[in-house]
Structure 1
Amino acid sequence: MAVGSVRAGQKDTSGGVQPSGAASTDRPTPTVSGPPADKPPRTCHREVADRLRAQPGTWGLVGIYPHATSAHKLARCIRNAYGRCAVYGPAGSFETRTVKLLGGSRRVEARYMPPRSDDDLWAEALAALTEDRAGGDGSG
């Protein structure tokens, strides 16, 4: 058997390195490994943030986490828009909640709350002022 080749059922311990002159057909085929079967796929936070921004005020799934600590840490990260969660910025743009599932894992959900414009804030303040004067305080 050539150096670097692997029999069926044996593990390749050569690290895929072959000495010079070895036949290229003896090289094991490289494989791409993903997350272990018991772990959920990693969350692409940019995609989640974009999806939630497209539906303001609507709760949406961010991910499912096996431990309460990791779920609550992520929820805080999203609300404060720091670190890997900077895509949820500016800070305070998203509200979060965690939901306990059967088996103890946690579902993290978020919703985008668009900032109110200055025009909206002024209109609301003017309406409140007008209501106060219309109600009459006897000083008229």
Structure 2
Amino acid sequence: MHDFHTLMIEHDRLDKLALELLDVVAGEPDPISALAIRADLSVTLDDHLSKEDGFLYDRLLGDAEQDCYPARVREFHSCFAALAADWKDYLHLWDNECVAADWAGFVGETVEMLERLRARIKAENDLLYPMALQKNHIRLRAAA
């Protein structure tokens, strides 16, 4: 079973990487650093989602007949599916050549994408994880 503490640590890591990338794109053009951080962020995000998507939404949506949460969970899941698709498109569109050729365009789309990702992390921290904890779908801490 997953635990709140570990999931929050993963979210902190994702947020830290997003902030690092935002810091790089706020400065002088540096495609090499930006792409390296983005690659780390992408791998970290994929790893986190492989854990989260399989348990969090399925279990919370499974409570549909017990409470009013599933409507909110469905909304979150739908919004996140759109974000995940947009993230994949962003990664595909902004390859090494495109980033080097259009730094300003890359910066604009990166800032927008990372704002959405960070808002998503905050929403999960504020609503979904506490809900999952309350419903015993995750532990507070890892089992000893």
TM-score between both structures, scaled by the size of structure 1: 0.22
Q: TM-score, normalised by structure 2?
A: 0.22
Q: Which has the larger radius of gyration?
A: 1
**Which has the larger helix fraction?**
2
Higher strand share: 1
**Higher-RCO chain (CA-CA 8 Å, sequence separation at least 6):** 2
